[in-house]
Amino acid sequence: MGGFEGHLYPGLSLFLYGLYHAGLLSRAVICNSPVQYPPRPPWSKGRWARFRQMYYVGFLKILSSCILVVQELHSIHWQLMLISKMYHQRTFMYRKQWQHLTLYAAFFLSGCVDVVSQNLLPKRCIVLEQGAQALSMCLLLPLMVSHMQDTEGVELRTHMLLIQALFLLTLVLTVELWAPNVLLIWMLKAFLYLVTGSWLMQIGFILYRPVSGYKWMDNDKHDIAFATTFFCWHVAFSAVLMIWIYGCSIVWHCYLIADA
């Protein structure tokens, strides 16, 4: 995820995924239904009925993964190489790019699992989807730890904060495998997806396109301290956003009930 776009696009994908889960949680709480099986309108019969039942979020995961792979390959001018042999020595090439592609492949497989599992029994479908999410985060966490090599100052601090959020998200997704329909787990999952996605986008602005127009200085303790402050603001923003989504969901469902 090098460069501005390499932080912006993955962060946006995680943030939108968090919005999706926050919407599911709000609807389940308002309608007093299980989180895993939110109420849906009956599907109409016809030639395209089966297509409308497909899990569109899985298709969005596949599409976003493909876009990220193309962006990553374009950043190195499509000259991807694993091992270079020069002067009788073996050298691994494009270390970070291969890590990025490994991560994108995990999310691609997660999207494929989401789509294919819709043809199985509902309970088995949920287990497969949750397992794919947990596996993706278990891969993302060590990759991000490896990304911290050769970093210092502001970049090191921002990525340390990102790893904290990723660790908590991985822990929540793992616990969810044993408690799949607990509202508190779903609330934490949606909240941590929002925090991780928004902060990943913020890292891109801090390191490559600062809003103030002035570059963040690694040797300035004030810049490093403010990076932590901005992360706390992102945590508060995600909490307020979840409350706002819940409030809008209440207004939306009350309007639909009153209109009906």
Cα 115 to chain centroid distance, Å, stands at 18
Which span out of 39-43, 120-124, 236-240 was modeled with the highest average pLDDT? Answer: 236-240
Rounded to the nearest 5 degrees, what angle is found at the Cα of 51, between the Cα atoms of 50 and 52?
Answer: 90
Residue 36 structure tokens: 């895993």
Of the two residues 171 and 253, the one the predictor is more confident about is 171
pLDDT for the residue 53: 46
Q: What is the mean pLDDT of residues 41-51?
A: 47
Range of the domain at 33: 3-259
Render pLDDT for 206-230 as a digit per residue (tens, 0 to 9): 988 888 888 888 888 888 889 999 9
Residue 14 structure tokens: 């995680």
Is-contact 137 169, C-beta < 8 A?
yes
Is-contact 28 40, C-beta < 8 A?
no
Residue 171 has pLDDT above 90, yes or no: yes
Is-contact 169 135, C-beta < 8 A?
no
Instruction: Supply the mean pLDDT for the chain.
Output: 79
In percent, the amount of the chain with pLDDT more than 90 equals 23
Measure the CA–CA gap between 33 and 25, rounded to whole angstroms.
Answer: 10
Q: At 179, which amino acid appears?
A: A
Could you give the number of structural domains in the chain? 1
Render pLDDT for 9-29 as a digit per residue (tens, 0 to 9): 888 888 988 998 898 888 888
Of the two residues 177 and 83, the one the predictor is more confident about is 177
What is the pLDDT confidence band of residue 203, given thresholds at 50, 70 and 90? Answer: very high
Cα 1 to chain centroid distance, Å, stands at 13
Q: What is the Cβ-side half-sphere exposure of residue 14, based on CA atoms within 13 angstroms?
A: 30
